[in-house]
Amino acid sequence: MTRDVTVYRLRSVTLAFQGLAGGLLLVFIALINLDMGAFKTGFIFLPVAIVYLWPVRASYTWSLICIFLLGIFYDFASNGPLGLWTLCYLALFIVLGGGARTTIRFPAAFLWFLLSMSFVCCLAMLLGRFALGQWPNGLEIAKSMLTTAVVFPLIFWIRRTSLIIFGGIEDPKVAI
């Protein structure tokens, strides 16, 4: 019994670090600028996807720590105000109370993701206003949100496929 509990706890901690690893990958992609001539933007809201799709069975306490590390790294690497993204991601995770259920269907997940992104956007704008002394560029934010929303289905599909392959989903037929 004690051994089972220990294994369960270790697994939940490992899942939190898996979320961190996935988040770091998305942070690196978020740091790249997409330059298509007239349309120049980036995926700055991409790490919101990993916070929303955080592993469900991950330890909540360790998840908070991992999200803190993820946000700090993003703040460092993007050269933005230190703590801006960290506060946004921590707030989002606390509000959501954990990652999205594995059985959630895509339309619902997409809607929740848009809401999560809007929440982070509002918070980032307020914090940005406080840190920079003026409102951040709204057009850039809108473009980044649009680009991130376009990429979200791919991230959702990757998560679903990996859950089906590694057996992390309760019943794959329920939510395709």
Partner 1 sequence: MSDKGFSRPQARRNTRRNVAIFLVLITSVMFLADRQQTSFLASGRYSADNVAMQFLGFLASPIRGVGSIGRQYFERSRAHQDNKRLKDEVARLRKYENQVLDLEMRVNRFEEILGMDNSADIPIERIVARAVSETNGPFVHTALINAGINKGVRSGHAVMSVDGLYGHVVRAGRTSSRILLLNDLSSRISVMSQRSQSRAILVGNNSTRPKLDYISADADWRIGDRVVTSGDGGVLPRGLPIGHVDIVDEKNPNVKLFTQGKPVDWVWVLPYKPTPPPQGEGELDPETLVENEAENEVAQP
Binding footprint of partner 1 on the chain (CB under 8 A)? 28-29, 31-42, 44, 60-61, 64-65, 68, 71-73, 76-84, 86-87, 90-91, 94, 124-125, 127-128, 130-132, 134, 136-138, 140-141, 144
Tell the smallest beta-carbon distance from residue 173 to partner 1 (Å): 32
* Residue whose CB is less far from partner 1, 7 or 77: 77
Nearer CB in complex with partner 1: 95/174: 95
Q: Using only C-alpha atoms, what is the Rg of the chain?
A: 17
Q: Which is nearer to partner 1, 23 or 163 (CB)?
A: 23
Please, what is the minimum distance in Å from the beta carbon of residue 130 to partner 1?
A: 8
Q: How far is the CB of 83 from partner 1 (least distance, A)?
A: 3
**The two structure tokens encoding residue 125:** 């704008």
Q: Which residues contact 11 (CB under 8 A, 6 or more apart)?
A: 57
Minimum Å gap between C-beta 82 and partner 1 is: 4
Q: Which helix (H) or strand (E) holds 10?
A: helix 2-30
CB nearer to partner 1: give 61 or 105: 61
Cα 105 to Cα 91: distance, rounded to the nearest angstrom: 24
H helix or E strand, kind and range, residue 42: strand 39-42
Map tokens 């395709």 to a residue: 176
What is the spatial distance between Cα 148 and Cα 142, in angstroms, rounded to a whole number?
A: 10
